[in-house]
């Protein structure tokens, strides 16, 4: 299969109006509703939102690893370097997965096979995509473990997953993910269940690898502290829909969607020491019971009649900023009017 050159201005990954439905006894549920986003080489995109918002399903859609049934892509396109991944055969997708696009899953302790050594798992991942001998793959495995800062790497090849801490296991997962030089790495909650010090080390490690290789990076998280440390751009999802997109600095300086403001208000910050955290009341609505209008209306302190009657669509509200929020539109209109007067 011939390599496809990427135009300088073209995104590495483009998700275009992705629709994913869950086919259940309760009916067909819209798990992802019209999601569009892009990631460029060397860029870090964070996808944030509460559990159940669709961010992990989006990642699994890119990898063609959706649990079918009940999940199924029913609309839209996912293009990687110009190719629609949905149009690839299973064998072609296997070549892409791990070599061109890699993914780090939430829990390394369940992602690693407990009865196979770390070395054998790394060697298998390398030989799956590279025509090398076992000895060459073993040498590369040692190199990868050193690259992710695992001490005494050659000896650790013989360890089993249970002999490693959570932080070390996550380093092994990163080593496995980057072993074949992917152009895009997807990290799904990469710091969950790790203590703060180890979290920082893992994030620094991924950024260092990105700097060395120029790969695109998608970080899926509910932790806005992780976003602040790593991301260039942020997509906020709520109830299966993208509700805001912004450069990371703009998002933290002035979040537009009221859900984004709620997430930031509930996040500890060094700048807000002593301030009370603000709880987002209520919970994400069930997919089978989404309200008419804005899905966030029942939890929003600024909701008004239009929010309950009409579904907001994503609009450019500020330079390089989009949001689907009538309250944000009203606020910005008032700001413009105040400047004019």
Q: What does the pLDDT look like over 281-333, one tens digit per residue?
A: 888 999 999 999 999 999 999 999 999 999 999 999 999 999 999 999 999 99
Instruction: State pTM to two decimals.
Output: 0.91
Domains of the chain (ranges plus CATH)? Answer: 13-100+182-340 (3.40.50.300)
Check residue 20 and give its pLDDT.
Answer: 97
Q: Give the span between the Cα atoms of 193 and 292, in whole angstroms.
A: 36
Residue 221 has pLDDT above 60, yes or no: yes
Is residue 197 within 8 Å of residue 165, measured between CB atoms? no
Tokens representing residue 191 in the block = 């710091």
Residue 5 has pLDDT above 60, yes or no: no
Element (H, E) at 274: none
Query: 297-300: which pairs have CB atoms within 8 A and are 24 or more residues apart?
Result: 299/259, 299/262, 300/258, 300/259, 300/327
């Amino acid at each position: 299969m011939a390599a496809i050159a990427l135009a300088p201005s073209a995104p590495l990954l483009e998700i275009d109006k992705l629709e994913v439905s869950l086919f259940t006894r309760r009916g067909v549920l819209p798990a992802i509703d019209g999601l569009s986003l892009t990631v460029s080489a060397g860029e870090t995109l964070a996808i944030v939102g509460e559990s159940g918002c669709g961010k992990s399903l989006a990642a699994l859609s890119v990898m063609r690893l959706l649990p079918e049934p009940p999940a199924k892509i029913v609309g839209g396109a996912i293009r990687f370097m110009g190719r629609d991944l949905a149009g690839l055969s299973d064998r072609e997708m296997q070549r892409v997965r791990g070599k061109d696009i890699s993914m780090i899953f939430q829990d390394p302790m369940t992602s690693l096979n407990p009865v196979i050594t770390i070395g054998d798992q790394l060697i298998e991942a390398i030989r799956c995509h590279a025509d090398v001998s076992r000895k060459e793959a073993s040498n590369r495995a040692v190199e990868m473990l050193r690259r992710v800062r695992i001490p005494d790497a050659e000896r650790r090849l013989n360890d089993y997953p249970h002999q490693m801490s959570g932080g070390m296991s996550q380093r092994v997962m990163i080593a496995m993910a980057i072993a074949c030089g992917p152009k895009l790495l997807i990290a799904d909650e990469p710091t969950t269940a790790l203590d703060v010090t180890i979290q920082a080390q893992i994030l620094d490690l991924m950024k260092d690898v990105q700097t060395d290789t120029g790969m695109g990076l998608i970080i899926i998280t509910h932790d806005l502290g992780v976003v602040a440390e790593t991301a260039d751009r942020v997509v906020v999802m709520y109830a299966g829909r993208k509700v805001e997109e912004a450069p990371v600095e703009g998002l933290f300086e002035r979040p537009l969607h009221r859900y984004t403001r709620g997430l930031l208000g509930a996040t500890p910050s060094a700048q807000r020491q002593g301030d009370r955290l603000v709880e987002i009341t209520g919970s994400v609505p069930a997919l089978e019971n989404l309200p008419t209008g804005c899905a966030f209306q029942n939890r929003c302190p600024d909701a008004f009649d239009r929010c309950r009657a009409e579904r907001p669509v994503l609009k450019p509200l500020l330079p390089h900023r989009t949001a689907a929020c009538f309250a944000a539109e009203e606020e910005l209109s008032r700001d413009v009017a105040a400047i004019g007067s």
